[in-house]
Amino acid sequence: MSKGLLIVLSGPSGVGKGTVCTALRSQVPDLVYSVSATTRSPRAGEVDGVNYFFKTREQFLEMIEHDQLLEYAEYVGNYYGTPRDFVEKTLAEGKDIILEIEVQGALKVKEKFPDGIFVFLMPPSLDELKDRIKGRGTESQDTIDHRMSVAVDEINLLQHYDYAVVNDKIELACERIQSIITAEHCKIRK
């Protein structure tokens, strides 16, 4: 049995990572979604091991100490991270796994897992990205401006990725990513 592929999908806030990842998973049912660990409390209906691996702060800090995370970050007082064991077991079973992750986290994963396939999801244009963020209706103008500044910085990190996929239409972005996965399975690895 051959080893599965680690596909890391990232890109700027508002580019549609979650939407594309959800659509891709419905089209490719064998693609395993990487479940993150978090110290935040479960919300109604969330299941441990399905939505997140829910950990105490002490458990999470122990995971950090024992290098059991491919990447992690603290956000609004809670930790979030990608458990190494879950990813490695899935790959060893010959299954492909996708991580939907922000850019800084993707670069951390690349340090620990350079054989992964790193896909940067691009907006059709910066104006379109700004319209998408505005369209959420949840951000102040200062926040939108900050997100746009960060997006430009993240796009400048494109050279660290293997592929760039423009998210002009969800279906097309999914087709492009599926083509990448197919090509990577056909690749001769030395």
Is 166 known to sit in a ligand binding site?
no
DSSP string for residues in 129-184: HHHHHHHTS---HHHHHHHHHHHHHHHTTGGGSSEEEE-SSHHHHHHHHHHHHHHH
Is 135 known to sit in a ligand binding site?
no
Is 12 known to sit in a ligand binding site?
yes
Is 110 known to sit in a ligand binding site?
no
Angle at 81 between CA 162 and CA 185, to 5 degrees: 35
3-state secondary structure 11-71: CCCCCCHHHHHHHHHHHCCCCEECCCEECCCCCCCCCECCCEEECCHHHHHHHHHCCCEEE
Is 29 known to sit in a ligand binding site?
no
DSSP 128: H
| Structure tokens belonging to residue 55 | 């950990």
Collapsing DSSP states into helix, strand and coil, what is residue 88? helix
Is 14 known to sit in a ligand binding site?
yes
Closest CA to 122 of 162, 154, 165: 165
Q: Which residues are annotated as a binding site for ATP?
A: 11-18
Q: Which residues are annotated as a binding site?
A: 11-18
